[in-house]
Structure 1
Amino acid sequence: MDMMTMVQRLTAVYGISGREAAVAEEIRRMAEPYADEIWTDRLGNLICHKKGEGPKMMFAAHLDSIGLIVTHIESAGFLRVAKIGGVRPEKILHSLVRFENGTIGTIASSGTDLGKLSMEDLYVDIGAESREEAEKKVSVGDAAVYMGQPVQTGTTLFSPYLDDRLGCVILLKTMELAADSPNDLYFVFTVQEEVGLCGAHTAAHGIVPDYGIAVDVTCTDDVPGSRHTVSAALGKGAGIKVMDGSLMCHGAVVERLKELAAGHGIPAQPDLMSAGGTDAGPMHISHDGVLAGGISIPCRGIHSPVEMADLGDVDACIRLAAAFASSRLE
């Protein structure tokens, strides 16, 4: 299956944090030809195992997406909402959202100062004229995700939820390319990353890997007004994670990824983030420690309704992940 088809299929599936089962099922169907066994753990992580005699490697990409959850329905039918994950009010105003049952709405604001916009200012308008009408479509506790479709222009990809459905695509392509790997490979599609890196913690505890690689998006340092708190740039290749807000990556993993990139002619760049975490964090401190790092996809507009990535960078991430999965490590 080509990469764009995979992106289209995965971004179309509803899968907000805590309710990722439909995304996991879609990935299961894609992964079946490349895994020796597949199962879902108690928390909901989808684990695809390719058996091998070498070191145990865990690759993680998260299934879940951020969004909004209904906290109150007003008498006029408008929905007050809270955030699930890292939602910033100023990034989502006037965006379309959809609920799991297909109900569609738009995000509006009762506030007047956009510079001081808070979640309490936001509401979702689903076109209802009363609480009774709204309650026929939506209940308190229902959650909404951004609407939108992937669009490719040249090598540029625009889409909601590249974070981290694009990481899931990279894991799937890595499974295909690393078919002859001698290592014991676990490709884990984790749940509830956006609300606390939860799934990777339990998955790593169960798998007990020797090595852990998180595949996720990373912010870019190539936009106007950048404060240089991150290092990656769009179109410059795969990000080799050095640090983020959840860990300092193990030096041996960082160096091995650099060596593999240079040896295979894969464009790569250092990835440093002063804040924000990835699944590498909980893997790193599982049991008595895991040699963990990350392969990162430079992405603009992270956590907005339209994120942006370069397909050349995605290809570099796939090649680097496959090279690491197939390499001989002690």
Structure 2
Amino acid sequence: MVDTKLLEKLMEAYGISGSEEKVRAIIKKEIKPYVDEITVDNAGNLIAHQKGVKPTVMVAAHMDEIGLVVQNIDSDGNILFEKIGGIENLTLIGQRVLMRGKNRKMIQGVITTLELSEGMDIEELPAEDEFYIDTGLTKAELKKLGIRTGTFVSLIQENVTLGSKKIICGKALDDRVGCSILIEVIKKCKKISKNEMYFVFTVQEEMGLYGAKTSAFEIKPDWAIAIDVTNADDTLAEDATKTIGKGVTVTVKDESMIGNKVINAWLEKIGKRKKIPIQFDVSGAGTTDAVSIYLSRGGVPATVVGVPIRNMHSTVGIVHTDDIDNCVKLLIELFKKPPKKLFEKSLK
């Protein structure tokens, strides 16, 4: 079911927070035949509208990925940077990067440290300000190419399959996986849902959930789903609760919100009836667009549906396509026949 070529195309696209244009263009072309209207709001969110009857449903997945931004360039041409989004310093060592200069010319570089560059022993993890980007160019050459303070820097990595064709490894799984799931839902939704549906591909989630905040305010949904990934805990844990290949994740609690209990119970019921495996996510770290939607106006019942991935916020994220397929199936069933009584109860 999952279109792996489309997923990989989305993963490879340049689209850090604030620079989602390429991702948005890919998605817009893909979904145009399946919705009644497509708009891009002032924040940069891509909003696809399927006309229907109340209640109004909002489904969101964020387009942006983590990255870097040039803070300064020293006299030797070394590029100092600031992070965009939550990136662990450990994942930066030896990382390849890409910057867009004048006339959209792409310049490659690698992240290094003085110790690594000069072959010294690294006894402890370097601090953020000890890393720099080496492009092999001088300061003057970088300036001529248009690389300066404020230039955005994307992390790059080749996509590969591991073990079997069902396990994909690469960059930007957070949240291009969610985008690919939402695209598949859109392609099927018009035939099965009579509701007023707003499918929103949001911007700047990694910076502060901003796109979901502005779009939810305008849409005024009656209830909502955010599609996003979560950290798998199956690498070493004996009693893992979120294992890749073992099912869809539904958020009970994350760092900033409690998933709507009525929607979650409904999803669990669907999962049992349709034999779609579900893993409940209880976490003390990280949050999603669902928080911004939930806090919009007078409050919107919302939860998070997604898939577990290993090595989140790195360029070697790992996801299982069975989970992606099951997530699409669960959401289609969710929108096919929402039980009115449950939502009447949740909206009182």
- The alpha carbon displacement at 1:113 in A equals 4.2
Q: 1:220 and 1:39, CA in 2 relative to 1: closer, same or farther beyond 3 A? A: same
Query: What's the counterpart of residue 268 of structure 1?
Result: 278
Query: What's the counterpart of residue 244 of structure 2?
Result: 234
Query: What's the counterpart of residue 153 of structure 2?
Result: 144
Query: What's the counterpart of residue 179 of structure 1?
Result: 190
Q: 1:47 and 1:122, CA in 2 relative to 1: closer, same or farther beyond 3 A? A: same
Which stretches in structure 1 are left out of the alignment for 5+ residues?
none
- The alpha carbon displacement at 1:280 in A equals 0.7
| Pair 1:190 & 2:202 matched | yes
- The separation in 2 between residues aligned to 1:114 and 1:5, in whole angstroms, is 41
- The alpha carbon displacement at 1:2 in A equals 5.8
Q: 1:75 and 1:233, CA in 2 relative to 1: closer, same or farther beyond 3 A? A: same
User: What is the identity, as a one-letter code, of the residue corresponding to 1:147?
Assistant: I
- The alpha carbon displacement at 1:122 in A equals 0.7
Query: What's the counterpart of residue 28 of structure 1?
Result: 28
Which moved further from structure 2: 171-180 or 111-120? 111-120
- The separation in 1 between residues aligned to 2:246 and 2:38, in whole angstroms, is 34
Alignment check: 8 A CA contact 1:67 1:146 kept: yes
User: Which runs of structure 2 are paired with 1:114-153 in the superposition (5 Å)?
Assistant: 115-128=124-137, 130-137=138-145, 138-153=147-162
User: Which runs of structure 2 are paired with 1:56-135 in the superposition (5 Å)?
Assistant: 56-100=56-100, 101-110=105-114, 113=122, 115-128=124-137, 130-135=138-143
- The alpha carbon displacement at 1:114 in A equals 5.7
| Pair 1:51 & 2:51 matched | yes
Query: What's the counterpart of residue 287 of structure 1?
Result: 297
Q: List per-residue Cα deviations over 1:245-274 (Å, max 9, x = no partner).
A: 121011101101111111111111111221
- The count of corresponding residues between Structure 1 and Structure 2 is 327
Query: What's the counterpart of residue 228 of structure 2?
Result: 216
Give the SS at the match of 1:301: coil
- The alpha carbon displacement at 1:316 in A equals 0.8
| Pair 1:251 & 2:261 matched | yes
- The separation in 1 between residues aligned to 2:58 and 2:114, in whole angstroms, is 46
Q: List per-residue Cα deviations over 1:28-72 (Å, max 9, x = no partner).
A: 000101111000111000001111114211111001011111111
Alignment check: 8 A CA contact 1:266 1:316 kept: yes
| Pair 1:159 & 2:166 matched | no
Query: What's the counterpart of residue 306 of structure 1?
Result: 316
- The separation in 2 between residues aligned to 1:211 and 1:126, in whole angstroms, is 47
Relative to total residues, which structure has the larger helix share, 1 or 2? 2
Which stretches in structure 2 are left out of the alignment for 5+ residues?
116-120, 341-348
| Pair 1:325 & 2:335 matched | yes
- The alpha carbon displacement at 1:147 in A equals 1.2
- The separation in 1 between residues aligned to 2:223 and 2:336, in whole angstroms, is 13
Give the SS at the match of 1:103: strand
Give the SS at the match of 1:324: helix
Question: Normalised by the size of structure 1, how large is the TM-score?
Answer: 0.95
- The separation in 1 between residues aligned to 2:308 and 2:161, in whole angstroms, is 16
Query: What's the counterpart of residue 7 of structure 2?
Result: 7
Q: 1:114 and 1:329, CA in 2 relative to 1: closer, same or farther beyond 3 A? A: farther
